[in-house]
Structures are given as C-alpha cells and as structure tokens.
Structure 1
Amino acid sequence: MSVESFLTYIQHEKRYSPHTVLAYRTDLLHFAGFMAGTYEMQPEDARHVHIRDYMVRLMEEQIGANSIGRKLSSLRSFYKYLYRRKVIAASPMSMIKAPKVPERLPVFVDEERLNYLLDSGEFFDESFPSVRDKVVIEMLFGTGMRLAELLGLQAADIDFYEETVRVLGKRKKERIIPLPKQLVLQLKTYIELKSLQKFNNKSEGLFVTNKGAPVYPLFIYKIVNSYLTYISTQDKKSPHVLRHSYATSLLNRGADLNAIKELLGHASLAATQVYTHNSIERLKTIYKQAHPKA
C-alpha cells in the first residue's frame, strides 16, 4: 500500500520522530477513508477535484484552518513521494491552496513571573517530586528545549564541566545548549537525590516519575500546567509555552535572531522570526504607557 510505504520512508530514511510519523499516519488514513467511502478509490488515484471535495468536507465538519493546513501538508508530502517514485504522473496538490490561517502570536509567560515562581521559595520544597518538578520547569525555561527532547534526556547528556546539555532534536539532529549556572547546581542536587530513591525499576532517563518509571508527555504537561496556574491566568500552560518564554526573553534582551534559531533547533529562520512580533507588541505597549504623544 502506498501510504504504508510512504510512512516507512519517512520513519527510516527521513528519520522523522515517532510523533511526526503518527501525525502523518492519522492524516493520510483519514484521507484514505474519505476516498474509499466517497469515491471507492485509493489515495494514489486522487485528482485535485477530490482534494477540494475533501477540503469542503473538513470545513463542513468545522475543522479549523490550522488542522486543514496540516492535513494538506501531509498530502502534499505524500504525493511528492509518489511522484518522485513515478507512481503518479503529477501531484493533485499542484492546484490546491490551503485556507488562510489567522496569525497567532506565540503564547509566553512574563519573565518576572517565572522568576518569582522559581526563586521565591514559596512553591517548592526539598522532597524528590518537588525538586524534580522544579528542575523540569527550569530546564524547559532555561534551555527552550521541546517536550520530546526533554523526555529523551539521560544523565550522560549533561556536561557539568562545560555547563551544557546535549539534545537530540527533530530528525535526530543533535545540538548543544548552554545551561544557566543555577540550573547546573540544581541538576546535581536532583541527580544525587534521585540516586538515593529506592525505586523498584530504575529508568535510564534523566527524569522519572515518583516510582522511578520513565516520564511521559502527559506527566510533564501536568507538572508544568499545575505550577503555571500559580502565576498565570492564560489558557495555555503547556511545556511549549516555556519554550516560547525562553525565546521571547532572549529576544527582549537583545540576542541575535540567528543565535536563537540555533538554540531552538529551528530548521529555518522563518520559524524563529515569529518571536519578533511579540517583541514589537511589547515595544508598542511600552510606547503607549510612556510616551506623551501615545
């Protein structure tokens, strides 16, 4: 089946992450179900009229523009793969345009609030779960790494002498991120405390649950969400918000955009430039508050 061969290709040759492969699988199987149920055809037999009909169906189901755009992106990659392997003569996506997505600025938490959460001494104690939770939040805010990157960390990835952490990012691309000195000390305390815990099963991962099992996405999300609730009323309180907060803080303090790109592990500068909008909005706010002609 062409869909399965494409998924094998992106998993083993392109080395996409399991999360990305799953997203492609979900999108392509959804489209395959539409083609089979509506036209009794295989996805590789689709023409642009079928793609447009699929878009209409998604809109009727009130699927958002972002989600439709992602599904179309999956289809575009799929048909590009089929075209390169001469399974099809032309891509049916060549005449398809994704619906316009309204621009949304990255959500971040103000630096002062995060510093209050982490440094005030009001929210964390010296127990293992509390120390771990604090280091998790410090790591996400202090390095800007992705949730998947945090989950894959091992103690060996921390270089205490150089004060850096080695991260395996998207498409298995490795990068080195500097660690704040305070976080280095906290990591040492956490690792020592972790070694003293009497777990039945010791995980090789850097971060573990209260019982010593490897942490998982929902576990980290709950940690971040619960603590951000103390300092933020915004709806989004996810690990990715801390990544946005890291990038925004760097930009506000004058960091070079290309340097931020490398620290975040972005493939292109376009992905990093979205943070400049937050800084512009911040400048506008300061201007309105401070300038006599505002």
Structure 2
Amino acid sequence: MPCAEQMDWIEKYLEHVRVERRLAARTVELYAFHLQALRDHAAEARLPLDRVQTAHVRRWMAQLHSAGREPRGIALVLSCWRSFYRWLGHEGLIGFNPVQDVHAPKAGKPLPKALGVDDAVRLAELYDPEADPWTEARDGAIVEVLYGCGLRVSELTGLDAQASGTARGWLDLDAGEANVLGKGSKRRIVPMGSKA
C-alpha cells in the first residue's frame, strides 16, 4: 500500500507543473485526473507508486483500450504518467520509469475528404460577370489542375510554367502532364486533362 509520502508525490508534481513548468490550469486539472487514475490502479494492485512495473502500465493501458478509449486519449494518459515518473527520477525518488517504453496503440489515419464530383463541377463552372476575364481564366485553370490531377494545394502552388533547375514542379503542356514534388520529396508525374 502507498505510504503517506508517496501520496504526497502527486501533489508535489502537480505543484511543479503548475509553478515551474507553468502549464495551463486545464492541463494541470487533466494531469491531476490522470494521476488519480494511476494512484487508483496502483492501490487496486496493492502497489506503492515506486513499485509499479512496465507490465502493470501495459495492462492498465490495455484495459483503457478495451473499454473504448481512443488511441489519442491513451497517448495523453501515458504522456502524463511518463512525465510524472521522469520527474520522480529527477528528484531521486525512483530509479526506473515504468512508462518509458510503453506506447499507445496506433491511431488510424483517415484519408482527407475529397471534393465531390458535383461540387467540383460547380466550382469549375463558377462564373462572375463582374470579374476580370484573366482572373476567371486563371481561377478556372487552377481548379482544373488541382482537381483533375489530384494535387495537394502545396503541390499546386509549387508548380512553375516550365522545368528549371530551381522548380519544385512544373507543367509540361505538350505532354499534358504535371511533374510534381509531393510529400517526402517524392517526385511524380500526373496526367493533366485537356481542359486544364
């Protein structure tokens, strides 16, 4: 069972993050909540905080995951606990951080939502009779190249009219292609529709 001194560790740590690290009040509240959960788990396992092992932390995280907690939420709990145990180590109160090598489950990476066909057509056909014809032509070409080639906005803005030693990407109008420098500095060639 945790001794009174160990019960005080959490209070001292919360004071440390509030005063020395100057964390926001809401963040300190979340830390207090997550550290109370750590205290409860340790008490349930009849463990003092300095006897918690990596296997215990992994079991508690698995319980959170099976209870439906999102990976991002689990990562926040782990970050709080890891920081707490790191502080205990700096204070010379423990010699081992049981959370150091525990990682949250990987969060899914949803694909970005593409513009629907009807919305893209409506955007491409948008016409403002008051606008400058050159601006209208430019904007139409931008939409056609962006949507028709499946480019990211950053890739589109990196395109030059022709290839050069400094171009990140360029349009090859004769071949009907765009040479694009994408994420991870990977170069790819994409077809460009005749309308663009």
Using the size of structure 1 for normalisation, the TM-score is: 0.36
> Partner letter of residue 78 of structure 1?
F
In 2, distance between residues paired with 1:86 and 1:293? 69
What's the counterpart of residue 83 of structure 1?
89
In 1, distance between residues paired with 2:152 and 2:65? 32
Q: 1:282 to 1:7 in 2, by over 3 A?
A: same
What's the counterpart of residue 103 of structure 1?
109
Equivalent residues in 2 for 1:42-61, closer than 5 Å:
42-61=48-67
RMSD over equivalenced CA pairs, Å: 3.1
| Distance apart, 1:282 and its partner CA | 4.0
Q: Name which of 66, 74, 88 aligns with 1:68.
A: 74
Secondary structure (helix, strand or coil) at the match of 1:95 reads coil
In 2, distance between residues paired with 1:86 and 1:61? 35
User: Does residue 36 of structure 1 match 2:30?
Assistant: no
In 1, distance between residues paired with 2:49 and 2:112? 35
Q: Name which of 26, 30, 41 aligns with 1:23.
A: 30
What's the counterpart of residue 5 of structure 1?
12
In 2, distance between residues paired with 1:91 and 1:98? 16
Equivalent residues in 2 for 1:248-287, closer than 5 Å:
281-282=152-153
Q: Deviations over 1:259-285 (max 9, x none)?
A: xxxxxxxxxxxxxxxxxxxxx644679
| Distance apart, 1:65 and its partner CA | 0.3
Q: Deviations over 1:130-153 (max 9, x none)?
A: xxxxxxxxxxxxxxxxxxxxxxxx
Q: Mark the structure with the bigger radius of gyration.
A: 2
Q: Deviations over 1:132-187 (max 9, x none)?
A: xxxxxxxxxxxxxxxxxxxxxxxxxxxxxxxxxxxxxxxxxxxxxxxxxxxxxxxx
Secondary structure (helix, strand or coil) at the match of 2:99 reads helix
Q: 1:293 to 1:93 in 2, by over 3 A?
A: farther
In 2, distance between residues paired with 1:88 and 1:51? 16
Residue identity (%): 25
Aligned structure 1 segments of 4 or more residues deviating by more than 3 angstroms: 103-107, 280-286, 290-294
In 2, distance between residues paired with 1:9 and 1:41? 24
Between the two proteins, the alignment pairs up a number of residues equal to: 119
What's the counterpart of residue 117 of structure 2?
none
Please say if residues 2 and 44 of structure 1, whose CA atoms lie closer than 8 Å, have aligned partners that are also in contact.
no
| Distance apart, 1:102 and its partner CA | 2.4
Q: Could you say which structure has the greater relative contact order, defined with CA pairs below 8 angstroms and 6 or more residues apart? A: 1
Q: 1:95 to 1:284 in 2, by over 3 A?
A: same
Secondary structure (helix, strand or coil) at the match of 2:79 reads helix
Q: 1:5 to 1:106 in 2, by over 3 A?
A: farther
Secondary structure (helix, strand or coil) at the match of 1:93 reads coil
Judging by fraction of residues, say which structure has more strand. 2
